[in-house]
Structure 1
């Protein structure tokens, strides 16, 4: 799929859904994202390209996802968490949810539909947030986020049970 193939007739409410697929991304930002990917081995150069992409498309989901992946795969988890937090706020606003994830309820959206791109982006972002909190040793906050995922997605399409299993095994020896 090419960016120009994205249906833009869906209206403002689906802007983020389009943005996740790269819609609305200025060409300059797209070029910078490609250059960042090509320069991945050179962290300073790749990060500079990401910053340039952000200057062309501030707060665009594709740019935020680029930053998140860069920081995550470079092991810069605290910075990845900062981006995940920005994505949570963005996804909450685009979905008309509370920006406080603890206040979002299963009645706020259809979370269990694969076609509901915006709510699923929210769930994936919350899952990333929970995972990063766990990796950073913030176990209780991670557990709260995982429990919220299970509340919003009781059929576990997002895979929160895997994270819960890992959380449940923290501190348990193999002999237990």
Structure 2
């Protein structure tokens, strides 16, 4: 399955959004860095709590404001919502190739969104120093994405190299 080919599928941001919520997202964008930006995003979320566009906006806001606990909560909410739409278990650990195939047949774009939300959660966990929890998610993603189109395997390599650096070779000095 080509996880980069989403030309023939509906994407999360194509779901209708109430005009007032769309205006609040635009307001948050123009007020980024000000306290009012978060309030606008939260108001949009109250208007459209199950809209993934709103959740992506909240995730990005929290991530770039270095509010990582909040970003993680939003990424997990995005996984919960997209997973529910796909008929997936709430537990990402149960995801396998069969379930992924069924989800892709249901909505390829939503399945891809789910996988990217899982990757986003793993990145936040890395930033929070929760390496094992992040690695678990990255290992799951890498196992499902054999061509590493989402980059989880490469990220896992970097994490493992950083946290388990190769042993330095021991130098033996010989007497002359």
Gaps of 5+ in 1: 1-13
Equivalent runs, 1:145-164 vs 2, <5 Å: 145-164=137-156
Q: Which residue of 2 aligns with 1:107?
A: 98
Quick check: which has more Rg, 1 or 2?
Answer: 2
CA drift at 1:161: 1.6
- Structure 2 vs 1, CA of residues 172 and 151 (structure 1 numbering), >3 Å: closer, same or farther? closer
**Residue 136 (structure 2) pairs with residue 144 (structure 1):** yes
- Answer 1 or 2: higher relative contact order, Cα 8 Å, separation at least 6: 2
After TM superposition, the score normalised by the length of structure 2 is 0.82
SS in 1 for 2:163: coil
Question: Is the contact between residue 33 and residue 50 of structure 1 (CA under 8 Å) also seen in structure 2?
Answer: yes
Question: What is the match of residue 167 of structure 1?
Answer: 159
Question: Aligned ranges for residues 74-89 of structure 1 at < 5 Å?
Answer: 74-89=65-80
Q: 2: CA distance between counterparts of 1:65 and 1:121?
A: 10
The answer on 1:134 being equivalent to 2:126 is yes
Structure 2, gaps ≥5 residues long? 1-8, 169-176
Q: 1 CA distance for matches of 2:165 and 2:115?
A: 31
Tell me by how many angstroms 1:109 deviates.
2.6
Aligned residues: 158
Specify the alignment match of 1:62 in structure 2: 53
Q: Distance in 1 between matches of 2:135 and 2:164?
A: 16
Distance (Å, rounded) in 2 between the aligned partners of 1:70 and 1:95: 26
Contact kept, 8 Å, 2:148 with 2:154, in 1: the verdict is no
Query: CA, structure 1 residues 173+147, in 2 after alignment: closer, same or farther (shift >3 Å)?
Result: closer
Q: 1:121 maps to which residue?
A: 113
1:96 to 2:87 alignment: yes
